[in-house]
Amino acid sequence: MQTPNHRVESARLYSDPNTRELLRRMLTEDLPLEPTVGPDGKVHYSLAETVLGAEADVKGWIAEMVQQDVLKKRVAREFVMCPVHLRADPVIMVECLKCKSRLSVKRSLVEHTYCGYIGDDSRFDKGGSLQCPNCGRPIRAPNELRVSGVWYECQNCLSKTSSPRLVFVCKEGNHEFTVLDLALVNVDSYMVNERVLAELRNTLLLDPQLAKMMEELGYEVESPAQVQGQSGSKHSLDVYAKKDGLTIALQVAVDTKPVEPSAVISFFAKAFDIKPNKSVLVTIPAASEEAKRLEAGYGVAVVEDFDGSGVVRKVKDLLEGGGR
């Protein structure tokens, strides 16, 4: 839904450098957010945690991105989990149905399709090459053998079964659970919604290009940046650069229509606290008339670019044009 509210929301979402960095990596490295099991046995979206920070509310972030149609769900993956601790890394053991021993050997029952002989797969192994123990013919192709059964042989009581009891041992306190009481949890993975691809590519690829250009101009660049203001609170910026005591704060605002004054005001609030020598707000596709009117009053230089392709050159001209 492209309601006005949605546009304001998405502009706000993309203005967070961590969000932009994560989406940029998902786009440029073609990475979905896949759930994986971490060393703590829990399901993690490790890429999101790496970029957003270990303390970040990754689930909240994903929920917000899905709600704003930036991310969409892909096929779910299921995890077998301990029903108590929801750890997804149990150790699985095969237990003898009769004596409950946990020392079984797995064997396959193999049939030689030529002569009909059926036997334990180990009997076909003649010192590295396969040969039928009944008719003595060498086995040359996979279709000459047919696996007709698999069983588990208890090493304690020697009883055999094809469906032994599976016991799961949770790493949290080594307690056990079975197939009957395990938790089977579906966890979604996420990818960038095609609907926002063009808009995202513009903004997400821009930050690194701007940072590179400023480094080439001799600036010491942080991007994305966390900068402490005079109030003591930290502000996130797309680019923060320093050279010879001169500081520059830069933010990119992308929208589907001319960027609203709210973007200027929120950037100004950061700049007012950080007090850089120069504050640059890049607006794509343009700044609204009201936003431009605020430009002078707030001391924020607004750079407009219709599709993002001219931004690096325009900002470079602005920086080189002096105004120290």
Residues that bind Zn ion (CB under 5 A): 82, 84-85, 96, 98-99, 101, 112, 115, 117, 132, 134-135, 154, 156-157, 170, 172
Q: Are strands 300-304 and 278-284 parallel, antiparallel or unpaired?
A: parallel
Q: Output the smallest distance, CB 115 to Zn ion, in A.
A: 3
| CA of residue 247 relative to chain centroid, distance | 33
C-alpha Rg value of the chain to the nearest Å: 31
Between 117 and 151, CB nearer to Zn ion: 117
Closest by Cα among 93, 91, 73 to 37: 91
Contact 261, 288 (CB under 8 A): yes
Q: Output the smallest distance, CB 120 to Zn ion, in A.
A: 14
Q: Output the smallest distance, CB 58 to Zn ion, in A.
A: 22
Q: Output the smallest distance, CB 110 to Zn ion, in A.
A: 10
Between 169 and 286, CB nearer to Zn ion: 169
Between 70 and 110, CB nearer to Zn ion: 110
Residue 48 pairs with which residues in a beta bridge?
A: none
Contact 248, 282 (CB under 8 A): no
Q: Output the smallest distance, CB 121 to Zn ion, in A.
A: 14
The runs of H, that is alpha helices, within the chain are 4-14, 17-28, 46-52, 58-67, 197-216, 261-274, 289-298, 311-320
Between 175 and 234, CB nearer to Zn ion: 175
Between 56 and 80, CB nearer to Zn ion: 80
Between 170 and 213, CB nearer to Zn ion: 170
Torsion sign, CA atoms 153, 157, 159, 164? negative
Between 10 and 104, CB nearer to Zn ion: 104
DSSP string for 117-172 = -EEEGGGGEETTEEB-TTT-PBP-SGGGEEEEEEEEEETTT--EESSPEEEEE-TT
Q: Output the smallest distance, CB 156 to Zn ion, in A.
A: 4
Contact 80, 88 (CB under 8 A): yes
Tally Cβ neighbours within 10 Å of residue 104: 20
